[in-house]
Structure formats: structure tokens, C-alpha cells
Structure 1
Amino acid sequence: MAERVNITEMADAIQEGLLEYSHLAANTMKDCVKQASTVVKKEIKANAPVKTGQYQKSWKVSKQRETSTSLHMAVHSKNRHQLAHLLEKGHVKRGGGRVQEFPHIAPAEEKGRQKLTEGLQRGLQR
């Protein structure tokens, strides 16, 4: 329900409302970033090439930096990071020829971007 304020208190009331909205938006954004990074990790694990399974199991999500208004998450391979680019893009063999590429990171990134956008739109419309 709307709250009545005097004209002299209107600036304070508007400022308070905007501050409340910014806190809600920041919390919604942080939740959406966490969910999107988890989706990216699951997609990479599901679509990663499997030889021994170690590369597939090595993916994790970690928080890089968090402030009151932002959150930076990273999805990365803990101990097999050297393979990520080689498997994603393919590479030249030592004796000639090329190794087939296995695009598994880019599609997961795109799915995470869509999940983030949808979550932000849904969360900020409430």
C-alpha cells in the first residue's frame, strides 16, 4: 500500500525506495550468477570428451570476487586446464594432421548466458 509523505520528505522517501530496489536487484543478480555458473559447469561435464573421465570430473565453480553489488564466478578445470583449449579447438599433431575438435565449452557458455539473462529478467520483474 502506498505511504503518504509530505513534500519535504519526498526526496528521502524516493531515495529509500531506490536503495531498497538496488539491494534487491544486487541480490537477484548474485543468485542468478551462481545458478548460471552451476549450469555451465554441469553442461561442460555432460558434453566433455571422455577417455579416462579425469578431465570431465575436473571442472568446478569458484568465487573469484564479491562486493556488495557484484559477484565474479569462474568455471574452470582444477588440474586439467591445459587440455581445455586443445580439446575445444583441436590441434596439430606432432607427425602431421590434426586432432578433432570437441566443442564443449562454448555451447555451455552460451547456455549459461541464456540462463543468466532469463533469471535476471524473471527476478527483476517481481
Structure 2
Amino acid sequence: MQDIASEITKALTEYTSEVEEKLDEIKADVADETVNMLKVNSPTGRRGKYAKGWRKKKDGTSYIIHNATDAGLTHLTERGHAKRNGGRTQAQPHISTAEEMAIKKFENKIERAIKGD
């Protein structure tokens, strides 16, 4: 009886590690795709430094996408801001659209992985 229990435990452990590996692979792929999308769709400015600054960073079991060069500009470009002499700059939504696409891609890849595609 103990042999059956240990075999079941072993099989479940192997399955769990396979699922974790596949999930981590999907997370990394979606993070890479999102970083590339942000680099393409971000406002470039004069030198393109802001658009080139997007990076992914692994934090535990998840990935964080951030702008390494101009982090303080993300909310200003996404939502617009007040100008020094009055008026407002136009909002350039690029982060929210990339986030929405990343969520959809992640969900689709998970569904395909579950189905075995």
C-alpha cells in the first residue's frame, strides 16, 4: 500500500513541476512580447530613449515590465499632463493597450497549453 502512495506522490510531483515549467515559459514569452510591443508603440521623443527603455524583470514567480531609462515619464505620457505655461499635453495611451494585449495572450496561451496544443 505504501508503494502505491509513494508512486502517486512521485507522479503528482513530476506533473506539478512540468506545469510550473510550462507556466514560467508562457510568462516569459508574454513578457518578452509585451516589452517588444511597448518599444514599438511608445512615444519616441527626440532620441527615442523612452521607447528603448522597456525591460522585463523576474520577481519571484512573476515578471515585472518597467521602463529602466525614464520611469518617471510613464504616467505622464500615458495620461497626459499640465504644461508649464497652461494647457495640457495629449495623452498617448500605450501601456494600457500593451497590458490588455498581454492579458489576452497569456489567457490564450494557458488555454492552449491546457488543451495540449
TM-score range, shorter chain: 0.7 to 0.9
Would the aligned equivalents of 2:50 and 2:67 in 1 still touch at CA under 8 Å? Answer: yes
Following superposition, the deviation at residue 10 of structure 1 comes to 3.1
TM-score with structure 1 setting the length: 0.82
Task: Give the structure with higher Rg (CA).
Answer: 1
Following superposition, the deviation at residue 72 of structure 1 comes to 1.9
Show the counterpart of 1:21: 15
Following superposition, the deviation at residue 8 of structure 1 comes to 5.3
Distance in 2, matches of 1:93 and 1:8, equals: 73
Residue 11 of structure 2 aligns with an amino acid whose one-letter code is G
Q: What does residue range 9-88 of structure 1 map to in structure 2 within 5 Å? A: 9-52=3-46, 53-65=48-60, 71-88=61-78
Following superposition, the deviation at residue 89 of structure 1 comes to 0.7
Larger RCO, structures 1/2 (Cα 8 Å, 6+ apart): 1
Q: What does residue range 83-94 of structure 1 map to in structure 2 within 5 Å? A: 83-94=73-84
Distance in 2, matches of 1:83 and 1:62, equals: 19
Segment of structure 1 superposing worse, 72-81 or 100-109: 72-81
In structure 1, the gaps of 5 or more residues are 1-6, 66-70
Distance in 2, matches of 1:119 and 1:24, equals: 16
TM-score with structure 2 setting the length: 0.88
When you count strand as a share of all residues, which structure comes out higher?
A: 1
**CA shift in 2, pair 1:105/1:9, >3 Å:** same
Aligned sequence identity (%): 30
Distance in 2, matches of 1:124 and 1:76, equals: 29
**CA shift in 2, pair 1:80/1:93, >3 Å:** same
